[in-house]
A and B are shown apart, each in its own frame.
Chain A
Amino acid sequence: MQFASFSDFLAMGGYGFFVWLSFGTCAVILIGILVSSWLEGKGLKKSIRDQVAREARIKQAQQEQNL
């Protein structure tokens, strides 16, 4: 451990603002793109599932009409 205390660690020898600004924005961007890619996949799967269900309903309605 290079730092004597936690407040020393946060201060980064006076460069705290710049170091934490870098690591903070980096973390935000990494987590942001991860979450957005994950949500995109989830939404896509839901829309395909909805589409499949809709086609099944249409098919069923057509069969009922033909009876």
Chain B
Amino acid sequence: MWKWLHPYAKAERAYQLCNTLLPYFAVISIVCILVGWVWGLAFAPADYQQKDSYRIIFIHVPSAILSMGAYSSMAIAAIVALVWQIRNAELAVISIAPVGAAMTAIALITGAAWGKPMWGAWWVWDARLTSELILLFLYFGVISLYHAFEDKKVAGRAACILAIVGVINLPIIHFSVEWWNTLHQGSTITKFDTSAIDPTMLWPLLINILGFAGFVGVIALMRLKNELLRCEQHRPWVRELISRG
């Protein structure tokens, strides 16, 4: 059943797959982010309570969702790398971490810029904000642990273990607004219930989420290509690829 997957454990096939997928992710992210930003900034109606300041939602929510989505995919790759000893999955872990950290940073910064006018404070030590900050440190931990070892086999294993251990933070972030009394508002898009948001605002939000997801894909694929080249730079297929220009 899983046999079709096996060739992609080979670096060359994985590299080709990255090249095939990249244009699709690139088109999705460029189109959706452009449409989503223009729609969200200029065409979506103002909120009855928060007026125009709520427009930050169109980047805050997508980046927050993707900060957790990227972490989940990184942790899945880490499990694959540890259980089946597949080095490409290890490289995927280290390729996803930087863009995940970027998403977390965007979520925190836009959250601060939204918190100031609405709550009157850039930062509060609230459960949601604190757990998201810990997510940022987990990403930093994975990246720096990988670069702390000369031996990349040991480095990959260490980074993978930290990535898996850090998964415990994801449910904490998600449920933090329910488990504790927080300043942070509850979720806007609920999966099983009708949304707490009007369709005229929901559509640009969904488009932005798709755009950010595409962007995470683009960066992860670009960085995975780099890591594959770096690891395999003495192999004939890389030499051939380079000499072809």
Tally of A interface residues using CB under 8 Å: 30
Tally of B interface residues using CB under 8 Å: 40
* Chain B stretch 38-67: residues in CB contact (< 8 A) with chain A: 41-46, 51-53, 55-56, 59-60, 63
Most A-side CB within 10 Å, residue of B45, B98, B113: B113
Residue from the list A22, A34, A41 in contact with B56, Cβ < 8 A: A22
Q: Which secondary structure dominates chain B's binding surface?
A: helix
Given contacts A29-B105, A33-B98, A22 and B114 within 8 Å (CB-CB): yes
The verdict on B25 contacting chain A, using a C-beta distance below 8 Å, is no
- A47 and chain B: residue at smallest CB distance: B233
Interface residues of chain A, those whose CB is within 8 Å of chain B, are: 1-3, 9, 12-15, 18-19, 21-23, 25-26, 29-30, 32-34, 37-38, 40-41, 44-45, 48-49, 51-52
Interface residues of chain B, those whose CB is within 8 Å of chain A, are: 37, 41-46, 51-53, 55-56, 59-60, 63, 98-99, 102, 105-106, 109-110, 113-114, 116-117, 215, 218-219, 222-223, 225-226, 229-230, 233, 238-239, 242-243
A-B contact pairs, 5 of them (CB 8 A): A13-B53, A15-B117, A18-B114, A33-B99, A37-B222
